[in-house]
Amino acid sequence: MGRILLILRLTVRDLRRRPAEAVLMLLVIGVATTTLTIGLALYGVTDKPYQQTRAATAGPDVVASLQAGPGQSAAPVGVNALIHASGVTGHSGPYPLASTMIRARGRTAYVMAEGRDLAPAAVDQPKPTRGSWVRDGGVVIERSFADALGVHVGDQVTLGGRSFRVIGMAVTAGLPAYPGGLCSMGCASIPASWLHSSTSPTPGLVWLTKPAARSLATSAGSLSYLLNLKLANPAEAQAFVIAHSSDSPAAPILSPWQRILDVDNLVVENAQDAMQVGGWLFGLLAVAGVAVLVGRRMVEQTRRVGLLKAVGGTPGLVASVLLAEHLVLALAAAAIGLVAGWLAAPPFASTGAGLIGTPGAPSLTVSTVVIIAAVALAVALAATLVPAIRAARTSTVNALADAARPPRRRAWLIAISARLPVPMLLGLRLAARRPRRAVLNALSIAVTVTGIATILANYSYLARHFSSGVDDPRIDRINQMMVMITVMLVVLAAINMISITWATMLDARRSSALARALGATPEQVSAGLSAAQVLPALPGTIVGIPAGIYLCDVLRHGALTIPPLGWLLLVLLGTPLVVAGLTFIPSRLGARRPVAEILQSELV
Amino acid sequence: MTDNTSVLRTRGLRKDFGKATGLVHAVDGVDLDVAPGETVAIMGPSGCGKSTLLHLLGGLERPTDGEIRLAGRRVDQMGEKALARLRREAVGFVFQAFHLMDELTAVENVELPALLAGRSRRAARAQATDLLERVGLADRAGFLPSALSGGQRQRVAVARALSNEPLVVLADEPTGNLDSAATLDVLQLFDSLRRAGQTLVIITHDSRIAATADRLISMRDGAFVDETKTMGGTRGNLGAFAQLEG
Ligand SMILES: Nc1ncnc2c1ncn2[C@@H]1O[C@H](COP(=O)(O)OP(=O)(O)OP(=O)(O)O)[C@@H](O)[C@H]1O
Ligand SMILES: [Mg+2]
């Protein structure tokens, strides 16, 4: 009991003594946990809006895509077998589905035009949210597609060369909302040329009267049919699909409603991916940042460790004190991340205009809480364990003499540096004194550059594959998110960089003062401190660029995209420059400290 | 002109620390002339301003008032860059705490000022090796400071101070952290420097060490209070000291 009290007391004292470091630590872990929380909270946010839309539109349980029979007006193949299958309690259709082009507000896009009855259908009756349902000469546009095109009720649009008036916008649960990809439902009438075109092959959806839709089909191949089925037990939709599917090329392609939901979920899935990858990158940055803070603290605390041990503290107690403090901070950061992530998630969770109803509040499940807490603790442990064990094991005498962490000696580096100009000589030797810190520095830069390179590669991927004139809400959302992640990456990396430089500067106080006593100018010393940060940043940058391109490749499932060379060069050259800039002020301050005072104060 | 005969000369040198009630006159009107080849010892109670004076002389600190000339050049008006050059080319420091870089071997420590002065690695290494031989540590060149005794560390520090052939070596209690045997070692080293014509300013608490100097200055409350010519009895005094130890 007394022991725990002692550990607590020492922890609280120490936190109070160094509030700035505690805040920095909360910040770096907090950013990582916030991002991860957003990523985790986006699981299944579309479920609820989809269910609401399904209820409001009498959504089908199974949708069948049927090929047109031979001859323009022949009935589609296989309708009877489906509507009389056991378990089917209702149906609507078959409705003709024609593929054509839409021109609206100067933009052109692929579109599937479904021909519907004027009277409401019992199964899958799209619900107008603006305007009215189909009538002669009028077209109703699926809401998220209308948003992407930027059209409003009352506008004129051209379908297959003929003019129509937009009379409504509607939502449906029977087909995926734009840009989910109607083709994932097996729209038989998609012309092969669409799939190989450079524009987005994702067509939008519009509704017309049946005759109008049929007349838009210019060839037999551009017409197919949709049949909506209601089952006695919607939960058995998947089983029904399996039972009634066939490999024959003429057979209908069946999709259960769960598949439509999955496709609609894709809209947030990219967001989810981005936030989770971002979360892990931030987690790595946090490990580097916390490790630097902890490492620097260990240097300051060696004497305290010695005192604790001198008055009888066991190595276990010493390690506990050091660990306790950082674990407490990590848990606090996890709590902050959970709350902040939960508050920040809704904008990322908005499902677009394809569904009605509000997205379910991003869920904060027990497993999310556990994962986030575990990640935060893991970050703190990863960063603290080694120094804590090392501190616990240092000899008491050494710790009391404050010599627990003598700088490392790298003979070959010292020999090489002797050939270099003075700032490089000082910088290389400084970096070599604390190899762990140099590695953390390189890691921090590598992670940041990886993130930036991923984003650049992804950006050029999107630019290459989705360059149609139509807005894609998925891409808007991803771009928005990438800007946010980039900004946070850079901010975190900057915090890390400054704290690393600061730690180096404090650590190198005596040797810098000595170098100046021996005749180095303040400019040389400060350039040396900056060089000590820039040197590890170089390999970090060089590793980070291909790593980012590879990560994008993995995320995009093998669509290797190399960003323009100019961008890569900018990152390659810009990163060391930014590092030099960031380290300028701390190293300047470090080099300005009065030499005599430092050398005197070290006269233990 | 005194300017021509003094390597180091100060007039009305003052250094204050703090403000108002906390104001300390650490150095309070010091006039000092050090002739070429002369060894000057400065003694005085703790806190009387000896170290501060030495830092002023070597350009580590700027005076509040007064002037300092080193080889005729005004030190007190120099900019940071010029001061750094001065320390690199004209001054060698020896500290009580040795202040060797822990991660550098003896020879690497000694060659550091030459490297800072932009000398080639080969020239710096050759000179450092010579200097180590001169301080009797040629066989310890590859040792880290942690593997050297206190006296050996200080001799490495002296060798480092001699790199770049300074006009004056400034030593602040060079034997303060050493036992008598090691003190004797370092003392003999300074004596050999003196005989080789090196200008030296040594601060010390140890009157036996002071006795080896050409001139002994007593300091109190930031000012010189007494000055004694020791009439070059170095050898005799050192001999007496050696006998005490023996
Ligand atoms: N940086 C500083 N700020 C404030 N006061 C200082 C500073 N450096 C020295 N002093 C004060 O100036 C006075 C002279 O200090 P100095 O270190 O020169 O003494 P000293 O003669 O070298 O003493 P010792 O023999 O103990 O080394 C002391 O009173 C000291 O407190
Ligand atoms: Mg002193």
Mean pLDDT over all residues of chain A?
Answer: 79
Specify the 3-state DSSP secondary structure of A223: strand
Is residue A244 classed as helix, strand or coil in its secondary structure?
Answer: helix
Does the beta carbon of B205 lie under 8 angstroms from any beta carbon of chain A? no
Strand partners, B15: B27
Q: Name the residue with higher pLDDT: A317 or A136.
A: A136
| pLDDT value for B241 | 41
Q: Is B96 helix (H, G, I), strand (E, B) or coil?
A: coil
Which tokens in the block code for residue A94?
């078959």
User: Is residue B59 domain-shared with residue B117, that is, in the same domain?
Assistant: no
B104 and B81 in a common domain: no
C-alpha torsion sign, points A44, A46, A52, A58: negative
The least confident of A96-110, A415-429, A456-470, A534-548 is A456-470
Res A479: pLDDT: 72
Strand partners, B94: B171
With a CB cutoff of 8 Å and minimum separation 6, the contacts of B163 are B92, B110, B111, B112, B113, B114, B124, B127, B128, B131
Residue B95 lies in a domain: no
Query: Ligand 1 center to residue A603 CA distance, Å?
Result: 12
CA B36 to centroid of ligand 2, rounded, Å: 24
**Is residue B149 left, alpha or beta, with left meaning phi > 0 and alpha meaning psi from -120 to 50?**
beta
Mean pLDDT (whole number) for A162-185: 80
ipTM: 0.77
- pLDDT band of residue B245 (cuts 50, 70, 90) is very low
Are both B63 and B120 inside the same structural domain?
no
| Residue of B54, B61, B80, B116 to mutate, testing the A interface (most A Cβ within 10 Å of its Cβ) | B116
In what order do the strands lie in the sheet containing B73-74? B24-34, B8-17, B65-70, B73-74
The amino acid at B173: E
What is the DSSP code (8-state) at residue A406?
P
In this model, does residue A325 exceed pLDDT 80? yes
For residue A179, is the peptide bond before it cis, meaning its omega torsion is within 30 degrees of 0?
yes
* pLDDT at B239 > cutoff 50: no
In angstroms, rounded to a whole number, what is the distance separating the alpha carbons of residues B47 and B202? 16
| Same domain, yes or no: B37 and B77 | yes
pLDDT, tens only, A548-592: 888 888 777 666 778 888 889 999 999 999 999 888 888 888 777
Q: Calculate how close chain B gets to A421, using CA atoms only, in Å.
A: 7
Whether A24 shows a pLDDT value over 60: the answer reads: yes
* Nearest alpha carbon to residue A92 among A140, A60, A67, A115: A60
Do B35 and B157 have their domain in common? no
Per-residue pLDDT at B154 = 93
Find the closest chain B residue to A430 by CA distance.
B103
Cβ pair A129, A356 in contact under 8 A: yes
**Considering the domain boundaries, does residue B115 fall inside one?**
yes
Q: For the range B107-110, what are the long-range contacts, defined as Cβ-Cβ under 8 Å and sequence gap of 24 or more?
A: B107/B132, B107/B141, B107/B142, B108/A414, B108/A418, B109/B145, B109/B156, B109/B157, B109/B160, B110/B156, B110/B159, B110/B160, B110/B163
Q: Which of B165, B185, B220 is the last residue of a domain?
A: B165
Q: Which candidate from B51, B58, B99 shows the least CB-CB separation from A514?
A: B99
Dist CA A128 CA B150 (whole Å): 91
- Report how far residue B38's alpha carbon sits from residue B16's, in angstroms, rounded to the nearest whole number: 28
* B82 plus B179 within the same structural domain: yes
Backbone angles phi, psi at B65, to 5 degrees: -160, 165
For B105, the domain range is 100-165
Q: Copy the structure tokens of residue B164.
A: 């770049």
Is residue A94 reached through a cis peptide bond, with omega within 30 degrees of 0 on the bond before it?
yes
Is B60 close to ligand 1, i.e. is its CB under 6 Å away?
A: no
Residue B41 has pLDDT above 70, yes or no: yes
Cross-chain Cβ contact A406/B88 below 8 Å: no
Phi first, then psi: give them for residue B100, nearest 5 degrees.
-90, 155
The answer to whether residue A182 scores a pLDDT higher than 60 is yes
What's the CA-to-centroid distance between B225 and ligand 2, angstroms? 18
Q: What is the DSSP track for A450-517?
A: HHHHHHHHHHHHHHHH--SSS--HHHHHHHHHHHHHHHHHHHHHHHHHHHHHHHHHHHTHHHHHHHHH
Q: Which residues, listed in sequence order, are joined to residue A104 by a DSSP beta bridge?
A: A107
Interface of B with A in 29-58 (CB under 8 A): 51-52, 55, 58
Distance CA B224, CA A244 (A): 110
In a shared domain, residues B5 and B49: yes
From residue A74, give the alpha-carbon distance in Å to each of A98, A229, A298, A365: 15, 21, 82, 53
With a cut of 70, say whether residue A432 has pLDDT above it: yes
Q: Which of residues 501-520 of A touch B (CB under 8 A)?
A: 510-511, 514-520
End-to-end CA distance of chain B: 46
Average pLDDT over residues A343-365: 65
| Structural contact between residues A256 and A237, judged by C-beta atoms closer than 8 angstroms | yes
Last residue of a domain, one of B142, B165, B188: B165
Cα pseudo-dihedral A57, A61, A62, A63, rounded to 10: 0
The pLDDT > 70 percentage for chain A reads 79
Residue A276, pLDDT score: 75
Same domain assignment for residues B139 and B237: no
User: Is B55's C-beta closer than 6 angstroms to any atom of ligand 1?
Assistant: no
Residues B121-131, mean pLDDT to the nearest whole number: 92
Q: What is the pLDDT of residues A508-543, one digit of tens each?
A: 888 888 888 888 888 888 999 899 989 999 999 999
Clarify whether residues B30 and B141 are in a common domain: no
Residue A416 in contact with partner chain B when CB distance is under 8 A: no
Strand (E) positions, B8-132?
Answer: 8-17, 24-34, 39-43, 65-70, 73-74, 91-94
Residue nearest to atom 13 of ligand 1 (CA): B26
User: A370 vs chain B: nearest CA distance in angstroms?
Assistant: 45
**Mean pLDDT in residue range B50-54:** 93
Mention every residue, 6+ apart, whose C-beta is less than 8 A from residue A241: A62, A254, A255, A256
In a domain, B17, yes or no: yes
Structural domain count of chain B:
2
Is residue A82 within 8 A of residue A90, CB to CB? The reply is no
pLDDT band at B246 (very low <50, low <70, confident <90, very high): very low
* Minimal CA separation from B46 to chain A, in Å: 14
CB atoms within 10 A of CB A196: 8
Please indicate, yes or no, if residue B170 is contained in any of the structural domains: no
